[in-house]
Structure 1
Amino acid sequence: MHARRFAASITLLLSNHRIHASNSEDADTLTSNLIQWVRGSGGFVSDKIAFRHINDDPTAPRGVFAVQDIDDGETLAIIPWDLIIKSPERAAGKVHDRWSHDDCGVIEETLKAMTASEDDITPYGKYLLSQPLNYTVGFWTEAGQDLFVRLTGGILYENNTLPPTDIDDQLIWEFEKVCDGDVTDPMNVQAAMLVRARSDYEYMVPIYDMFNHDNGKYNIQHKFNPYTSPLEETGYGVITTRKINAGEELYNSYNRCNICDGYFDWFGTPEVFQHYGFVENYPQRWLFDLARVKVELTAQDDGQVKVKFLVPPSKRGIDVLSKELLRLNDFANKYQHKSYAELGMRGLEWNSMWEYYDAIYAALTYITESTEPLVDDVWALGDDWWVQEGTTKEGEDDHTVRKTSGDEL
């Protein structure tokens, strides 16, 4: 029996923009001041949108909602160049071949924004300062990371069996090695984590980072491509992708946006959790290198979850994932009755880990119970077996395909 219950519809544990304020009024004030600051600095925030708790539940994360009907293609926000946090060299028009240089600058500028004096701190600096501490797995305590890696079937600092295959966050490594950053200082580490979790390209953009992620309900997009547009002239724009009715929530996509070409194919639910700190709602994409299984899960109107194999599954692969289900049961039986305190973890890490456990257990259950015909074709392919025609090619971006030769299984 499955040791923990999972639901067909998985809700967000931790929104990217849950405000770590002492009460709802504090959070409302932070948001209101941020909007007024953008408007007062020459920017635009539509009066047809409001920032509030989902379902008006004060314990729920916040979202951006339409308070009036909004036309297709209508502008929701324009953020002036001067309000965007970026590296000083990027601000001066210099472009580096290596991302690390701009990493250093944007982390340092984010740190400055959060640690400015009371007289100088901006509403965006206060907003960033209010975010939960170290909420992505690459920034958890060592005890929290160790248990999460055990969940995925690996050993800390070595490759895992299940995704995400590597929780080590290279951004904090770059911050220490390339930027000479002090990783013993909690505020420095928090700045690095916020850049990982909230930046778009190499920019920290107020307002833009307040839209929730949902690939099934994605209805906004960039007005200007930050990779190619002169943002110092245009500002950072957000528009709708269809007509929005009053009361609807406005959603972004963190991996399938209109400029997310490099992330579209392989960056799925495990990577969203690793980079942004939450389990996404359906649809979900899962890529299991060890079993050469790649699927998309979508919730149907009747509450059932549909499994779409993006690569034909094999008996060998399904057998591997069935064994992983048994191992996950053993993991839950061993740890679920313990407390996070006795394991040396934080409560945020404990809750987030079990949320991910439920998601991956559900995914493996749906996959292994599928009646899809099984063929062995995938094992005749190379290490780029997971690539779909016309999309990402092996070697681009950050995905590393684990070797899956017969000797390793």
Structure 2
Amino acid sequence: MLVALLLWSSLHIANSDATALPTDEHGDYNGSDLIEWINSHPEGYVHPSLRIGRRIPGDSSSIIGTFVSSAPGAKPIEKDEVIATIPWDRMIGPGDEYSPTTFGSCQAIRNLASELKLGDNSQYAPYVRYLLTQSIEAMPGEWSKAGQMFLRQITADGELPPLDADWFEAAEYKNVWLNACRGSDDSIERLAYYLTSNRDEDTLMIPIYDMMNHSNDPDKLNTLSYKPNKVGDSFVFKASRRINPSEEIFNCYNRCHACSTHFREECETYSFRGTPDIFAHYGFVEEIPHYWWFDRNEGHQVTEIEFCLEKIAATGELSVSWINSTPGDHDKAFFVKHLERLKQIESNKEGLEGQLVQPDNENATSQEKMSRLEWEACWKYHNALITAIDAAIVSLNRIRRGNATAKLIVHDEYDIGDEL
């Protein structure tokens, strides 16, 4: 998966003697060295209208992304035009172990860590210099103990998604990298693990492509990607519609989830994560439309509840489509219980802030206080849960009263490939 939503901020592990990153007239990273490096390869190509920079130029709090340039004379990128072709030896991956149906690789992490340690001496130096500036603090697995415990309170200790506890206390990092891959816990290897788990396209780290931000809004999404079929092939991404000057170029990190219009089409990647997964792995709440799932435990029996949450363009009203079956009365009671509990947490927001959040004028000194970033992320997820659960209850009430017919989406299981 990819994540370009991390803010551009230097890590302590970055070499102070490394070559400085190129910047534009606003002082923002512009990737000019990266573009030149890719174009210097006989098979490499970057569209001349592509711009790398901040969403709000000159605003250090704004995220880095990819855009169509609005400079005088810049042309739009037309539908089906190639945005970039990234040659095999401009990507960092598992080498000869690469397979298009493998979605995790210890060797890919090792190879990335090796290149990061080489820094300016790496054959991927323009890309490595950029990667060494990336922060991992937005990811819940790297949050403070206070931030993780508050998120655990919001999810009722796992009764609400994300149901997989891997996000908690960096368990996934320990299980995958330290145990399964037998890696070490030094700062560079830790960074390599998080970069591959949050920025790669399955097992490939792909420059420029991994700077594209996420959108699952069909009106915003404007690219299609084609990963290598075999070792040595290039990675290509194209415009799926006309992208005009100043428009942002988006990718979708979960293009193939159960609510997607691309389900089973153009789905050769490990990109089926739902809204809770996106938050757990990347630390942000995506825009509506959402894909939600809940597990209601009753004794030894688990009932899965899945639905799609969309916004009707004409009215702005939220619409719920249930996946495979419509929930029953016990499921509705489950939703009502948690909606009331979440609202109770919200009623004490001011008191919790004073208790849990590190003051802005103090440096973090312990795990007992969370950062402002963690606090705001928790509340965005809290609000997303309330919105989804409330919409689910409204839908079920309308169905019970006979004011609406249940909208069902039925999907069969299908094989997506091999994980790590």
Equivalent residue number for residue 72 of structure 1: 79
Equivalent residue number for residue 165 of structure 1: 163
1:397 positional shift: 7.6
1:62 positional shift: 2.7
**Contact preservation (8 Å) 1:16, 1:212:** yes
1:114 positional shift: 2.3
The correspondence of residues 60-139 of structure 1 with structure 2, limited to 5 A, is: 60-67=62-69, 68-87=75-94, 91-92=95-96, 103-120=105-122, 122-139=125-142
1:50 positional shift: 1.4
Equivalent residue number for residue 345 of structure 1: 370
Residue 372 in 1 paired to residue 375 in 2?
no
**Contact preservation (8 Å) 2:39, 2:46:** yes
TM-score (norm 1): 0.77
Percentage of pairs with the same residue: 27
Q: Which amino acid aligns with 1:360?
A: L
**Contact preservation (8 Å) 1:198, 1:276:** no
Equivalent residue number for residue 309 of structure 1: 321
Equivalent residue number for residue 32 of structure 1: 32
1:346 positional shift: 3.4
Deviations 1:45-101 (A, max 9, x none): 1012212322546232233222322222110001111111112xxx235669986xx
CA distance in 2, matches of 1:172, 1:309: 37
Question: CA, structure 1 residues 322+27, in 2 after alignment: closer, same or farther (shift >3 Å)?
Answer: farther
Unaligned runs of 5+ in 2: 12-20, 70-74, 257-264, 297-302, 359-365, 402-407
Q: Which amino acid aligns with 1:232?
A: G
Question: CA, structure 1 residues 53+251, in 2 after alignment: closer, same or farther (shift >3 Å)?
Answer: same
Equivalent residue number for residue 15 of structure 2: none
CA distance in 2, matches of 1:303, 1:106: 47
The correspondence of residues 1-400 of structure 1 with structure 2, limited to 5 A, is: 15-20=4-9, 28-29=28-29, 31-42=31-42, 43-56=44-57, 58=59, 59-67=61-69, 68-87=75-94, 91-92=95-96, 103-120=105-122, 122-154=125-157, 160-168=158-166, 169-183=171-185, 185-216=186-217, 217-222=220-225, 224-226=226-228, 229-230=229-230, 232-233=232-233, 235-256=234-255, 259-260=266-267, 267-290=273-296, 292-301=304-313, 304-311=316-323, 312-332=326-346, 333=348, 335-341=352-358, 343-370=368-395, 371-374=397-400, 389-393=410-414
Aligned residues: 358
Question: CA, structure 1 residues 214+103, in 2 after alignment: closer, same or farther (shift >3 Å)?
Answer: same
**Contact preservation (8 Å) 1:136, 1:197:** no
Unaligned runs of 5+ in 1: 1-13, 155-159, 376-386, 399-409
**Contact preservation (8 Å) 2:106, 2:181:** yes
**Contact preservation (8 Å) 2:116, 2:132:** yes
1:107 match: secondary structure: helix
Q: Which runs of 4+ in 1 moved over 6 A?
A: 96-99, 394-398
1:110 match: secondary structure: helix
Question: CA, structure 1 residues 206+239, in 2 after alignment: closer, same or farther (shift >3 Å)?
Answer: same
CA distance in 2, matches of 1:198, 1:330: 36
Deviations 1:327-364 (A, max 9, x none): 12233326244342373333332232222112212222
Question: CA, structure 1 residues 98+219, in 2 after alignment: closer, same or farther (shift >3 Å)?
Answer: closer
CA distance in 2, matches of 1:181, 1:344: 30
**Contact preservation (8 Å) 1:76, 1:239:** yes
Q: Which amino acid aligns with 2:238?
A: I
**Contact preservation (8 Å) 1:284, 1:298:** yes
CA distance in 2, matches of 1:303, 1:316: 31
1:204 positional shift: 0.8
**Contact preservation (8 Å) 1:77, 1:237:** yes
Deviations 1:287-330 (A, max 9, x none): 12227432222234467342222232333212211111121223
Deviations 1:131-160 (A, max 9, x none): 112422233334332221121111xxxxx1
Question: CA, structure 1 residues 264+309, in 2 after alignment: closer, same or farther (shift >3 Å)?
Answer: farther
1:373 match: secondary structure: helix
CA distance in 1, matches of 2:45, 2:416: 40
**Contact preservation (8 Å) 1:198, 1:209:** yes
1:199 positional shift: 0.8
Q: Which amino acid aligns with 1:161?
A: E
1:392 positional shift: 3.1
Deviations 1:6-40 (A, max 9, x none): xxxxxxxx953532259975973462222222222
TM-score (norm 2): 0.75
2:206 match: secondary structure: coil
CA distance in 2, matches of 1:129, 1:30: 15
